[in-house]
Amino acid sequence: MNKFTRVLIPAFAVMVAISTFAVRPVQAAEPNRSITVTGVGTASVTPDAVRIVASVSTLSSTNKDALSQASSAAGAIRDVLKKFVISTKDYKTSNLTVYPEYNYTQDKGSVLSGYRATQSFTITIRKAETAGSIVDAIVAAGGDSVQINNVVPFLVNGTSSTEQARAAAVADAKARATSYARLLGVKLGKVISISEVSAPVYVFPSVAAEKVSTMGSTQIDLGQQEISVTITVNWALN
């Protein structure tokens, strides 16, 4: 009798353990909840630099003379840039052409009027307040062969303004997320992820500078440049 009892007790214990394990309920993991919103921020700033496209154009009886005259006028522009301490890395020749130029008449048709040489420069002025004076000096040095083709204010150092735009974008995203959370009856948790949808966008005006008159100096109106940043933020919901 004692021997039989000693055999059954371990078997019964194993059965009870298995039974207890089998009936233990399995709890489903609660799904993670989150909300994703887009925020947009902008900041306005005055441009601190100006890009100028200037050209010289001369007409002569031979292409050699035309190119020589254009080169002389281009040299006068370089002298002006040196006077205003514009670094050589901030200006370059963007175009150089020499070609025959014709006039059309009804009785003779196309008639060669000479050879035209043109050289264009792209100039970056890093002190925007001096741009008008530099335009005046270029026109005075090159005379009637000079054309100012384009003047564009732009921003060289936009770090501070970009930070302002990013801060505004974060505030905008948080305001949107908070509004949705309130409508849904939940609360915002920690930020799961944030990404900048695109690099900061710089929007600036383009202005034209005409040949200076003897009555006054040229003024470059810089206007305001807008920097825009767009971000996407994912928040956990509590």
Cα–Cα distance list, 108 to 59, 60, 102, 105 (Å)? 21, 21, 11, 5
Rounded to the nearest 5 degrees, what angle is found at the Cα of 57, between the Cα atoms of 69 and 110? 105
Can you list the residues of the chain whose pLDDT is less than 70?
1-31, 199, 201-215
The CB-side HSE value for 56 (13 A sphere, CA atoms) comes to 22
The top-level CATH class assigned to 34-45+159-202+229-237 is alpha beta
Residue 195 region, left (φ>0) first, then alpha (ψ -120 to 50), else beta?
A: beta
Q: Which fold has domain 49-154?
A: Alpha-Beta Plaits (3.30.70)
pLDDT at res. 107: 85
Q: In 10 A of CB 56, how many CB atoms?
A: 26
Instruction: Assess contact for 116 and 69: CB atoms under 8 A.
Output: no
Cα–Cα distance list, 82 to 68, 108, 125, 147, 160 (Å)? 21, 47, 12, 19, 31
Instruction: Assess contact for 114 and 49: CB atoms under 8 A.
Output: no
Q: Write the DSSP symbol of residue 197.
A: S
pLDDT at res. 188: 94
pLDDT at res. 9: 46
pLDDT at res. 106: 85
pLDDT at res. 217: 84
pLDDT at res. 205: 52
What are the residue boundaries of the structural domains of the chain, listed by start?
34-45+159-202+229-237, 49-154
pLDDT at res. 199: 67
Q: In 10 A of CB 59, how many CB atoms?
A: 16
Those residues whose C-beta lies under 8 Å from the C-beta of residue 225, and which sit 6 or more positions away, are 44, 45, 46, 47, 153, 154, 155, 202, 203, 204, 205
pLDDT at res. 95: 96
pLDDT at res. 186: 94
